[in-house]
Amino acid sequence: DCKTASASKDSKRMKKQPKTLTPEKRMVDGYYFDSYSYTDIHETMLRDRHRTLAYQNFMFNNPQLFKDKVVMDVGCGTGVLSIFAAKCGAKHVIAVDMADIAKQAKLIVQRNGFADRITVIQDKLENIRQLPHGLTHVDVIVSEWMGYCLLYESMLSSVIFARNTWMKAQPADIAAGLRQCRIFPNQARLFMAGFDYDAMESEFWRDCYGIDMSVMYKRPAPTSNPLIISVDSDFIRTQHTCFKSLDMHTVMDQDLDFTEKFDLIATHDDAVIDALVIWFDCLFENNCND
């Protein structure tokens, strides 16, 4: 968070030994990190231009937030965000990833001429006891931590750990009562709306490239399992509501397991609602007070 920690607390925290993991936890972690060791998943993310350009445009349009700063890239993958930070003038970038993709990231960093300003560490972030090159803290954290439905299989807990362990508050900001954003993206919001899934699916088969294939359609059975699909906004039947907002500078691990009340207001008197759609957005702001 943005509170200043004493040197004695920092030293105790740095010397703290990692928790002993159960075999079950090791297996889950192993599966998770192994899934990010292959090229395909990183190619998919890099080909998502909306995602990658959101980071690039914000960073390149706000280079003063990174210039001469020590930056940590949590879950660096191929190192694309680390290189963006270096191009913005970062003093040094610490890129961390447990998956084997870190090996490729090191080669990419070298090939692009940033080996002297980007250090790639292949390890679980929570295992790092000391930063490289005698560094004692980081000024900025960047991460593409979002998972399915924002929080499923996300790395937000690692971002929180990095913030609490390695980020130092700026005395000038504290004295002025300001809170300069230094974790990007700095805010995430979850939204929900009701929609008519049955109507959306049946409409597809009624006019499939100009052909009536409605005989192919089978009404979906009720399920409690989430579907990862594109939703046609024409079939949204309620106003949307933001039911959870997370500030990266203040959120804690316990905030990630939550129950929220919400209201959905129908937009049609005869609306049929047979499913809920959830989506999220992430904000990049250069001043948390704005």
pLDDT in tens, 137-190: 999 999 999 988 999 888 999 999 999 999 976 555 544 454 567 999 999 999
Query: Rounded mean pLDDT of 256-284?
Result: 93
State residue 42's pLDDT score. 60
126 catalytically annotated = no
Q: Which of 85, 145, 146 is nearest to 119 (CA)?
A: 85
Q: Which of 248, 220, 233, 247 is nearest to 279 (CA)?
A: 233
Question: What element of type H or E holds 42?
Answer: helix 39-47
Q: Lowest mean pLDDT of 4-18, 57-71, 238-252, name the range.
A: 4-18
Distance CA 37, CA 206 (A): 42
CA Rg value for the chain: 22
Distance CA 242, CA 190 (A): 6
- Residues of 113-126 as b/e, b for ≥16 C-beta within 10 angstroms? ebeebbbbbbebbe
With a cut of 60, say whether residue 24 has pLDDT above it: no
- CA 258, distance to chain mean position in Å, is 18
The single residue of 24, 43, 153, 203 carrying the catalytic annotation is 153
The single residue of 24, 43, 126, 144 carrying the catalytic annotation is 144
Q: Does the N-terminal peptide bond of residue 23 adopt cis geometry, omega within 30 degrees of 0? A: no
pLDDT digits (tens, 9 = 90+) for 54-105: 999 999 999 999 999 999 999 999 999 999 999 999 999 999 999 999 999 9
153 catalytically annotated = yes
State residue 241's pLDDT score. 97
Instruction: Identify the residue whose tokens are 């040094």.
Output: 92
State the average pLDDT for the chain.
84
Task: Confirm if 194 and 30 have CB atoms less than 8 A apart.
Answer: no
| Structure tokens that stand for 99 in this block | 């998956």
